[in-house]
Amino acid sequence: EKGLRVSDKGFLNTAVLRSEITFIDGDAGVLRYRGYPIEQLAVQSSHLETAYLLIYGSLPSKAQFQVFHDEVMHHSVIHSDAEQFFRSFRYDAHPMAMMTTALAYLGSYYSEANPSLQGQNLFTRGDAASLAIMDKQIYRLIGKATTLAAMAYRVRQGREFVTPPTGLSYTGSFLYQMDHLGQENYAPNPVLEKALDVLFLLHADHELNASATTVLQTGSSLVDPFSAVAAGCASLYGPLHGGANEAVIRMLISIGKPENVPAFIEAVKKREKVLSGFGHRVYKTSDPRSFIVRKTADEVFKITGRDDLLDTAMALHDAAMKDEYFIKRKLAPNVDFWSGLIYRAMGFPNDYFPVLFAVPRVVGWLAHWRQMMLQSGGVKIWRPRQIYVGPGKRDYVPVDERI
Ligand code: SDX
């Protein structure tokens, strides 16, 4: 234990690096991407422009954004033989399992970007050629994230895949590929496209959450970014993290009518149930994203019609916010509490919601990955220590002498 500082289990309150990307003040409920308040970006920016900001550190000029946009959209196409790969999934495989697997699989396509083939310092060299390869992997991952997500959706429906269209926005192209009305009927709905774009922007990054830490832990071995992002996607899949938006809807459905809320609250207080969508490791007053999501929900419901679960969600929210149990534990709605209601109103199946978290979060994972690759002094593999509390030295006992 000499010289080791033991952080509580699960990295609680442990700073493992310095970052210029996202700032969170958990007590004041503040979230800024590269210094810009999330409230301003949500209204004035777009997910793809914010992606550029998070990854490269400044808001792009018109020309810079055009190049970035065109590269991402150009690289959203998937090799046609990857379609057979997707067809190998059972139709009812969880879409997050499909995303995680497909991201790792796709990484094998790009040998020019494979550090084990091109030299382990490929991403840390920092010269123009390797930066260009890094950028291309970034364009590919952001572009293909929507296409993989759409393919996972179509597998679930037993429908043919849709080639990413040209001329639509990043979110519009995604909705086009997903569209369950069939492409001939597809008419971009600006309100729904904008709502999804705001949700993508809000989910783009969140400092060193479990999945970003997973990407960096994995990336620190200098594996390629597709593999590191696949690892992050696996972490996000869990119900304590990105899987919470799906868990919220299942929770609301299980509660049913608003009059059942008090009984549910009591069950939570007895620790028989978890109030999904509430609480946060960092935010101890409020998650600023939840207010923007809540407002976006009202915009969406004007188009899709009000979701009957909204009354239950609002009753649950109001009951929890004035209950001593939750107040004492500083539990408030997080980004996941309201977002599932929007996805449900937009017609996505419940288990697809975490995919709608993963697609935009690819941006944040890549921002942290790129920052680590280019950090001064190069990359050190992440290798935490432990405090050993197991048995002392003991000798082997042959099986016949064991009781
Ligand atoms: C995301 O890290 C990030 O930034 C994540 C994220 C991102 O953008 O990447 O913000 C996205 O993952 C949001 C969180 C989504 N998860 C959920 O909504 C699942 C429900 N939430 C809880 O599981 C929990 O709040 C966590 C996992 C989010 C946080 O867990 P912590 O940090 O261990 O919780 P805590 O230490 O703050 O808990 C304090 C107390 C404990 O009670 P006591 O044991 O002290 O009596 O509050 C209790 C907890 O048991 N508690 C809850 C609760 N969350 C915490 N009790 C009931 N319901 C809850 N939701």
> Is the CB of 244 inside a 6 Å radius of any atom of ligand 1?
yes
pLDDT at 135 over 70: yes
pLDDT for res 3: 64
pLDDT at 1 over 60: no
Higher local confidence (pLDDT), 210 or 3 = 210
> Is the CB of 268 inside a 6 Å radius of any atom of ligand 1?
yes
Mean predicted confidence (pLDDT) in 19-35: 97
- SS3 for 317-329, per residue? HHHHHCCHHHHHC
pLDDT at 183 over 60: no
Label the pairing between strands 36-37 and 22-25.
unpaired
- What is the distance in A from the centroid of ligand 1 to the CA of 220? 27
pLDDT for res 11: 80
Residue minimizing CA distance to atom 5 of ligand 1 = 209
- Residue 8 class from Cβ within 10 Å (0-12 exposed, 13-18 middle, 19+ buried)? exposed
Buried-exposed string 56-76: b where 16+ CB fall within 10 A, e elsewhere: beeebeeeebeebbebbbebb
Residue minimizing CA distance to atom 47 of ligand 1 = 329
- What is the distance in A from the centroid of ligand 1 to the CA of 276? 8
> Is the CB of 279 inside a 6 Å radius of any atom of ligand 1?
yes
Residue minimizing CA distance to atom 27 of ligand 1 = 240
> Is the CB of 90 inside a 6 Å radius of any atom of ligand 1?
no
The confidence band for 158, taking pLDDT boundaries of 50, 70 and 90, is: confident
pLDDT at 157 over 90: no
> Is the CB of 125 inside a 6 Å radius of any atom of ligand 1?
no
- DSSP classification of residue 12: B
> Is the CB of 284 inside a 6 Å radius of any atom of ligand 1?
no
Mean predicted confidence (pLDDT) in 188-217: 95
Mean predicted confidence (pLDDT) in 162-189: 79
> Is the CB of 332 inside a 6 Å radius of any atom of ligand 1?
no
Label the pairing between strands 30-33 and 22-25.
antiparallel
pLDDT at 5 over 70: no
pLDDT at 224 over 60: yes
Residue minimizing CA distance to atom 56 of ligand 1 = 274
- What is the distance in A from the centroid of ligand 1 to the CA of 399? 45
Buried-exposed string 251-279: b where 16+ CB fall within 10 A, e elsewhere: bbeebeebeebeebbeebeeeebebbbbb
- What is the distance in A from the centroid of ligand 1 to the CA of 290? 15
pLDDT for res 269: 96
Here the contacts of 81-87 (C-beta below 8 Å, separation 24 or greater) are 82/106, 82/109, 83/151, 83/161, 86/151, 86/152, 86/155, 86/161, 87/155
- What is the distance in A from the centroid of ligand 1 to the CA of 76? 35
The confidence band for 308, taking pLDDT boundaries of 50, 70 and 90, is: confident
Each residue of 338-372: pLDDT tens digit?
A: 999 999 998 888 899 999 999 999 999 999 999 99
Percent of the chain with pLDDT over 70: 96
pLDDT for res 165: 87
* Residue 115 main-chain phi, psi, to 5 deg: -55, -30
Q: How far apart are CA 108 and CA 114, in angstroms?
A: 8
Q: How far apart are CA 388 and CA 205, in angstroms?
A: 34
**Catalytic residue set:** 280, 336
pLDDT for res 8: 57
Q: Are the CB atoms for 330 and 371 separated by under 8 Å? A: no
Mean predicted confidence (pLDDT) in 107-114: 89
The confidence band for 325, taking pLDDT boundaries of 50, 70 and 90, is: very high
pLDDT at 240 over 80: yes
299: left (phi over 0), alpha (psi -120 to 50) or beta: alpha
Residue type, 30: V
> Is the CB of 276 inside a 6 Å radius of any atom of ligand 1?
yes
> Is the CB of 209 inside a 6 Å radius of any atom of ligand 1?
yes
The confidence band for 211, taking pLDDT boundaries of 50, 70 and 90, is: very high
Tokens of 375: 């950090």
Q: How far apart are CA 118 and CA 383, in angstroms?
A: 24
pLDDT for res 347: 86
pLDDT for res 180: 52
- DSSP classification of residue 25: E
Residue minimizing CA distance to atom 30 of ligand 1 = 281
Average pLDDT of the chain to the nearest whole number:
93
CB contact set of 116 (below 8 Å; sequence gap of 6+): none
> Is the CB of 75 inside a 6 Å radius of any atom of ligand 1?
no
- What is the distance in A from the centroid of ligand 1 to the CA of 10? 12
- What is the distance in A from the centroid of ligand 1 to the CA of 208? 15
Residue type, 284: K
Q: How far apart are CA 146 and CA 168, in angstroms?
A: 13
CB contact set of 193 (below 8 Å; sequence gap of 6+): 169, 171, 172, 175
Best residue among 32, 213, 240, 287 to mutate for probing ligand 1, ranked by most atoms within 8 Å of CB? 240
Q: Are the CB atoms for 322 and 278 separated by under 8 Å? A: no
Q: How far apart are CA 42 and CA 221, in angstroms?
A: 35
pTM above 0.90, yes or no: yes
pLDDT at 143 over 90: yes
Best residue among 285, 329, 338, 363 to mutate for probing ligand 1, ranked by most atoms within 8 Å of CB? 329
